[in-house]
Structure formats: C-alpha cells, structure tokens
Amino acid sequence: MHETLVILAVLVLTVGAGLSLAAITAGWIAPGAGRAKVLRPRVWGYGTLVAMAGIGTYLFVGPLQGPDMGHFPVAMGGMAVFFVGLYVQRRAFRPATKTSS
C-alpha cells in the first residue's frame, strides 16, 4: 500500500508542477469552473509551484517517511510553505494593484 501512495503522490505533484509551469510560461490555466476567477494566471502558477513544493516536502519527509518523528519540524515547515503557496494563489484572484510613482 505504501508504494501505491508514493506513486499517487508523485503523480499529483508532477501534474501540479506541470500545470503551474504552463501558467507561468504561457499564462494558460486548465479549463474548469475556477478558471474565469483567476485574473493573473502567472501569479496563480507561482503559487501552485510553491504549494506543490511545500506539500511534497510535507508528504515525503512526514507521513510517507514512516513513524520516525525526527523530521517533524521539516515536515511542518513544508506545510507552512504549502500555506504560503495557497496565499499566493488566492492573490491571483484579485486584480493587480498599481503603485503611484
């Protein structure tokens, strides 16, 4: 069962990273219900890439590593990075603000 979970995690992380790179480089977001809400696809892509890095760190250092609690702070750091990525994704729903100069 462990091998199946690892394969599924790698698959999800790879698809997420691929979609984020498509958003960063081409400004393309996969079709779906939330696509129209994203006003800045490149920002959404950066947020997704950061979130994938964070959740990947959490998964492979934490739950998929085993019962060893020695890497707990690193796993929680990965979860914090994941939440930062979600925050950046959320910022992509808002229009860009212009600064006065």
* Alpha carbons 44 and 91: distance in angstroms, whole number: 8
Please report which confidence band the pLDDT of residue 2 belongs to, taking 50, 70 and 90 as the band edges: confident
Q: What is the pLDDT of residue 101?
A: 62
pLDDT in tens, 18-47: 999 999 999 999 998 888 899 999 999 999
- Residue 52 belongs to some domain of the structure: yes
Which residue type is seen at 21? L
pTM: 0.87
Nearest to 57 by CA among 69, 67, 72: 72
Model confidence over 58-95: pLDDT tens digits?
A: 998 988 887 777 888 898 999 999 999 999 999 999 88
- Number of domains forming the structure of the chain: 1
Q: Would 19 be classed as within a structural domain?
A: no
Range of the domain at 86: 1-12+36-96
Q: Is residue 25 part of a domain?
A: no
